């Protein structure tokens, strides 16, 4: 009997110059998932860095695309084909300027918004129907260039809340694998529930 496959993809740009920038929130979350599953994202394959976790009834694949953000879909599409994975078993983790720094939002599907990596994935896969975890990095100040903002790094105080968000996103992705989307949304969106908002 074939194992159920779950793909968790964190978006970012490869290279030291982009490490820990706002746009690399997905990569920072993947580092915590490496610790959670006791693996290293060191396998170069399908235009990404991969790690596989094989459990009794499922296989979990962690991936950081190495294509640069605006071609993330190239890597994700190859992953989906290689692992014969349905979009409902793909979880994408990425930064979102429309959420305050440190806020986490989990959704079953939706449009890519202004995010180039998500736009690439949606266009390449031909669907918006796959789960995602968005990590808020806050919008740029008035007059600030968007690219300059997302490729910059947060100040130490904001970084503290971002680190907490990365941990929450990693926990949420693991919850999704273990217990399904409803439980993942309960965990990831819990901060919203007390404010009476819908996710």
Helix (H, G, I), strand (E, B) or coil at 44: strand
Q: What is the distance between the alpha carbons of residues 14 and 11, in angstroms, rounded to a whole number?
A: 10
Helix (H, G, I), strand (E, B) or coil at 84: coil
Q: Confirm if 37 and 48 have CB atoms less than 8 A apart.
A: no
CB atoms within 10 A of CB 50: 21
Which one, of 143, 116, 141, lies nearest residue 23 by Cα? 116
Q: Which of 23, 89, 115, 179 is catalytic?
A: 23
Q: What is the distance between the alpha carbons of residues 62 and 30, in angstroms, rounded to a whole number?
A: 7
Which one, of 143, 147, 163, 132, lies nearest residue 68 by Cα? 147
What φ, ψ does residue 70 adopt, rounded to 5°?
-75, 0
Whether 23 is catalytic is: yes
Give Dmax (Cα) for the chain: 56
Positions annotated as catalytic residues are 23
């Amino acid at each position: 009997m074939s194992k159920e496959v779950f793909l968790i993809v964190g978006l970012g740009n490869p290279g030291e110059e982009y490490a820990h920038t706002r746009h690399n929130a997905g990569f920072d979350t993947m580092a915590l998932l490496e610790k959670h599953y006791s693996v290293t994202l060191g396998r170069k394959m399908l235009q990404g860095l991969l790690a596989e976790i094989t459990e009794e009834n499922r296989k979990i694949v962690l991936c950081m695309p190495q294509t640069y953000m605006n071609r993330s879909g190239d890597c994700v599409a190859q992953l989906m084909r290689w692992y014969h994975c349905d979009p409902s078993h793909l979880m994408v983790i990425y930064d979102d300027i429309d959420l305050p720094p440190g806020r986490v939002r989990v959704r079953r599907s939706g449009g890519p918004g202004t995010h180039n990596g998500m736009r690439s994935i949606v266009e390449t896969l031909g669907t918006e129907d796959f789960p995602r975890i968005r990590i808020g990095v806050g919008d740029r100040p008035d007059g600030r260039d968007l690219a300059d903002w997302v490729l910059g790094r947060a100040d130490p105080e904001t970084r503290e809340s971002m680190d907490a968000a990365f941990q929450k996103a990693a926990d949420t992705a693991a919850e999704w694998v273990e217990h399904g989307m409803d439980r993942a949304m309960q965990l990831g969106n819990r901060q919203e529930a007390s404010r009476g908002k819908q996710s």
